[in-house]
Amino acid sequence: MKETMRAGVFEGEGVLKIKEVPVPMIQKADDIILEVETCSICGTDVHIMSVPPGYIAKPGTILGHELVGRVVEVGSGVLNFKPGDRVVSNPNDYCGVCRYCQLNLPNQCENMIPMGIGADGGFAEYVRVSEKVAHKISDSLPTEVAAFAEPLACLVNGMQKIRINPGESALVIGAGPIGLMFVQMAKAAGASPVIVSEPSPLRRDYALKCGADFAVNPMETDVEAFVKEKTGIGSDYAIDVVGSQIWEAVKAIRKGGKVLLFGVNAKAVPTVVQSQITFKEASILGTWLANATFPKAVQILESGVLKLKELVTHNLPLGGLAEGIELMRKGEGIEILIDPKR
């Protein structure tokens, strides 16, 4: 293995550089070195690169956390992986000993060092992960599908909190890759109608292709009124994939409905009329990262129940990373993959 590699490094507020950096080495007995097959751009990467940032990353960190790779080297204590294994990785390595880890909430670990934010990530030729966050995935699964493992694992954690039943209705706010997966998962669960609120024409079109019954532009349509027109009383569920739409979600649900807050935007400070939550007896649920949901995500991907390959709109070389992030910011791309070998 060579000594240096190309990587997309966050240099500070709004600054991203493609540069030569040292190839990661085994440091602990449970370390695994992966050769990165692909790494997709997440909304978190867009927030990190915003000025001011909507998500804080450590300067000097290699960005990227939604990756697929192959094992090229393992530490002396690794038991379940060998060179050549194809894996996806939970980017949020947890300590296993803090109070939250002991409460079986590793996604809330007090000592977590998230990949691509505080530890080097996947927009590089190689990356180091620990064995406990690595998960094998089928060699036959297309790269474009395997790349969805990390966001799908986070989505499954949220879906387990609301548990949509057949015949129930759902509003999905935001139709990026995660929102479109929520649409497909809701339809697979038998939800009807599934309504999407999204300003981007491209993404509204993709929402309909993914099975949404309706897709509306919130800049032109009163979403609350539209949802009530189509459901009679409001949706059973509203899912905010944007990170700032809690009030729109609360307004759209029926009495006794549930709001799932998935998206994260640290800059957003939305105004909420709390009395409406009380009056509606609404349930407001946050969901954060993946929690023991990677095996389920891998199973779902390998089953083929979701149609995800069609969501990949761009496959760019590492040098196109900044372009890809800008495409995501403008809503002109859906799933954008970065190939660090190109």
Active site residues: 44, 47
Least Cα distance to 247 among 273, 225, 210 occurs for 273
DSSP string, 75-86: -TT--S--TT-E
Distance between CA 46 and CA 29 in Å, rounded? 34
What is the end-to-end Cα distance of the chain in Å, rounded?
17
Structure tokens at 72: 């090229």
Q: Which residues contact 185 (CB under 8 A, 6 or more apart)?
A: 155, 159, 164, 306
Give the other-Cβ count within 10 Å of 81's Cβ.
Answer: 19
Quick one: how far is CA 104 from the chain centroid? 21
How far from 224 is each of 51, 179, 205, 229, CA to CA, in Å? 32, 18, 21, 9
Q: Quote the CA–CA distance of 3 and 143 in Å, as a whole number.
A: 26
Q: How long, in residues, is the chain?
A: 342
CB 7 within 8 A of CB 39: no
* Tokens 């038998």, located at residue: 190
Q: CA 252, CA 208: separation in Å to the nearest integer?
A: 20
Say how many C-beta atoms besides its own lie within 10 A of residue 85's C-beta: 18
